[in-house]
Amino acid sequence: MRIQFALLLAVTTVGCAGEDGTSYLTNLNDEAAGANCPSGGVRIETGPDDNGNGTLESGEIATTKYVCGNQTMTDVNPEPAGANCPAGGVKIQVGTDTNKNGMLDGTEAASTEYVCGAGQAIVSKSFMQGGVNATTGTPITILPGVIQAPAAGKVIAVGSSDLFCTATQCPAGSPAASAYLWIADEANTVAPVADYDFVFLQPNITTSITRTSYFPVTAAGPVTYNLRGQDVIGDLAYYRSGLTLIFLP
C-alpha cells in the first residue's frame, strides 16, 4: 500500500534575504491540467522582490518549476471498539484527490484498512506543502512530528513526500539521481541500514516516495519523530511532505 499525503493548495508567499539585502520570494499556486502538468499540480515561482512590496510580481519571477500529478491521499482516524476492531484501533482510507480540494472525500476513498490494538488509537498529523532543499549527500530533516503517548504502547509512523529536481539540479545519465527517505526518533540520524525507502529520479518529473516505521513507546509523554531524507547525486527538493503518527496501546 502506497501512502501519501496532500494539503489544500493555496497561494502563499515566503521570503528570505539575499546577500544584497533583497528579499527572494516564492509563490505556490495550483497548476491546471495542461501542457505543464497533464493531470495538474503545483506551480512554484521564485524571484527577487525588487520593489520591496512583499509581493512577487510577474516581472520579478526568475524561475518557474512544476510539481505535477494528482496525489494519492491517506485519511487516518481513530477507530472505536466494534466490529472492525474489537478493542479499538485505527482506520486507514486511501484514494485519489480527483477534485483537488486537498482532502480525501468519501467518494474518493478507494480502499479501507484497519490496524487494531488494545484500545482506540491516537493520531497526530503534520503536513508541509512547500519544498525542503537537499544538498548532495547531506541528510536533512524534512518534517518533524509530535504525538502525546498516554501510556506505554507503540507508534506507527507513516511518512511520504514528492521529490522533484530540474535538469540542472539532477542531470540525467549514469549513475542516476537517487534519494532516501526514513523516519527516526533522533533528529540527526543518517539513513539506517536496510531501514529506509529508496527511489531513483528523473529531472523535471515528480516522483513519490513513502516510508512506514514502527517504534516502541515505554512510558507516557510527548514523543517526537522525524521524517528524514538524503539525496545521493544531484540536488533536489522534497515537496508536499506528510508525517502521520499513530499511537496504539
**For residues 25 and 51, which has the higher predicted lDDT (pLDDT)?**
51
Place 20 in a pLDDT band, splitting at 50, 70 and 90: low
**Which sign, positive or negative, has the C-alpha torsion 193, 196, 200, 201?**
negative
Of the spans 60-69, 129-138, 175-184, 225-234, which averages the highest pLDDT? Answer: 225-234
For residue 11, the model assigns a pLDDT of 32
Q: Please, what are the domains in the chain? A: 12-68 (no CATH), 71-120 (no CATH), 121-248 (2.60.120.760)
Place 143 in a pLDDT band, splitting at 50, 70 and 90: very high
Q: What is the 3-state secondary structure (H, E, C) of the chain?
A: CCCCCCCCCCCEEEEEECCCCCEEEEEEEEECCCCCCCCCEEEEEEEECCCCCCCCCHHHCCEEEEEECCCEEEEEEEECCCCCCCCCEEEEEEEECCCCCCCCCHHHEEEEEEEECCCCCEEEEEEECCCEEECCCCCEEEEEEEEEECCCEEEEEEEEEEEECCCCCCCCCCCCEEEEEEEECCCCCCCCCCCCEEEEECCCCCEEEEEEEEEEECCCEEEEEEEEEEECCCCEEEEEEEEEEEEEC
Residue range 99-120, pLDDT digits in tens: 666 667 778 888 888 888 887 7
Whether the per-residue pLDDT at 177 is higher than 50: the answer is yes
pTM for the full predicted model: 0.73
% residues pLDDT > 70 (the chain): 86
Q: How far is CA 136 from each of CA 108, 131, 183, 233, 235, rounded to the nearest angstrom?
A: 38, 16, 19, 6, 5
Of the spans 1-15, 68-82, 112-126, which averages the highest pLDDT? Answer: 112-126
Whether the per-residue pLDDT at 12 is higher than 70: the answer is no
Residue range 74-100, pLDDT digits in tens: 778 888 899 999 988 888 888 877 766
Mean pLDDT check: name the lowest of 48-62, 94-108, 177-191, 208-222.
Answer: 94-108
Average pLDDT over residues 119-145: 88
